[in-house]
Structure 1
Amino acid sequence: MMNSTPDDKPAPSRSAAVVYNPIKVDIDAIKAAVTVLENETGWKTTTFHATSKEDPGAGATRDALDAGADVVIVAGGDGTVRAVAEAIHDSDAALALMPAGTGNLFARNLGIPLDDLEGAVRTAFTGVDRAVDIGLIDIRDENNALSKHAFVVMAGLGLDAKMIANTDDDLKKRIGWLAYVSAIVKALADSSELHVKYRLDSQRARSGRAHTVIVGNCGSLTANVLLLPDAAPDDGFFDVAVMRPQGVIGWAQILGKVLWENGVLRRIRGGHFLTTKDVRALRYVKAKQLTIRLSTPEEIELDGDEFGKAIAFKSRIKAGGLTVRMPQAANSSQH
Structure 2
Amino acid sequence: MRHPHSLTAAVIYNPVKVDIDVLRDAVNTEAATAGWAESVWFETSVDDIGQGVTAQALARGVDLVIVAGGDGTVRAVVEAVRGHDVPVGLLPSGTGNLLARNLKMTLNDMPESVRTAFVGEDRAIDLGMIRIERDDKSRDEHAFVVMAGLGLDAKMITNTDEDLKKKAGWVAYVKALVASLRDPDELHLRFQLDDHAVKRATVHTLILGNCGSLPANILLMPEAALDDGLFDVMMTRPGGAAGWIRVWMKIAWTNGIVRRTKAGRALAGKHENDGDLRYDTGAIFSARFSRPEQIELDGDEFGRAVAFKAWIEPGQLRVRVPRVVS
Tell me the TM-score range normalised by the shorter chain.
over 0.9
**Is the 1:253–1:279 Cα contact (8 Å) retained in structure 2?**
no
Taking the aligned partners of 1:141 and 1:53, their CA distance within structure 2 comes to 23
Residues 144-176 of structure 1: per-residue CA shift (max 9 Å, x gap): 210000000000001110000011111211211
Task: Report percent identity of matched pairs.
Answer: 51
Q: Output the TM-score relative to the length of structure 2.
A: 0.97
Per the alignment, residue 165 of structure 2 pairs with 172
Per the alignment, residue 31 of structure 2 pairs with 38
User: Alignment partner for residue 305 of structure 1, among 297, 300, 304?
Assistant: 300
Q: Output the TM-score relative to the length of structure 1.
A: 0.94
Taking the aligned partners of 2:72 and 2:216, their CA distance within structure 1 comes to 18
Matched letter for residue 53 of structure 2? A
User: Alignment partner for residue 195 of structure 1, among 188, 213, 225?
Assistant: 188
Taking the aligned partners of 1:67 and 1:27, their CA distance within structure 2 comes to 22
Residues 101-120 of structure 1: per-residue CA shift (max 9 Å, x gap): 01111110001101111111
Matches of residues 51-200 of structure 1 in structure 2 within 5 Å?
A: 51-200=44-193
Taking the aligned partners of 1:272 and 1:132, their CA distance within structure 2 comes to 24
**Is the 1:18–1:72 Cα contact (8 Å) retained in structure 2?**
yes
**Superposed displacement of residue 239, structure 1:** 0.5
Taking the aligned partners of 1:34 and 1:272, their CA distance within structure 2 comes to 40
Taking the aligned partners of 1:271 and 1:327, their CA distance within structure 2 comes to 27
Per the alignment, residue 323 of structure 1 pairs with 318
Matched letter for residue 15 of structure 1? T
Taking the aligned partners of 1:267 and 1:40, their CA distance within structure 2 comes to 37
Q: What SS is found at the alignment partner of 1:270?
A: helix
Most deviating of 172-181 and 267-276 = 267-276
User: Alignment partner for residue 18 of structure 1, among 1, 8, 11?
Assistant: 11
Q: What SS is found at the alignment partner of 1:107?
A: helix
Structure 2: where are the runs of 5+ without partners? none
**Superposed displacement of residue 44, structure 1:** 1.5
The CA RMSD measured in Å over matched residues stands at 1.2
User: Alignment partner for residue 265 of structure 1, among 258, 272, 278?
Assistant: 258
**Is the 1:157–1:214 Cα contact (8 Å) retained in structure 2?**
yes
Structure 1: where are the runs of 5+ without partners? 1-7
**Is the 2:217–2:257 Cα contact (8 Å) retained in structure 1?**
no
**Is the 1:210–1:244 Cα contact (8 Å) retained in structure 2?**
yes
Q: What SS is found at the alignment partner of 2:183?
A: coil
Taking the aligned partners of 1:9 and 1:89, their CA distance within structure 2 comes to 22
**Is the 1:89–1:323 Cα contact (8 Å) retained in structure 2?**
no
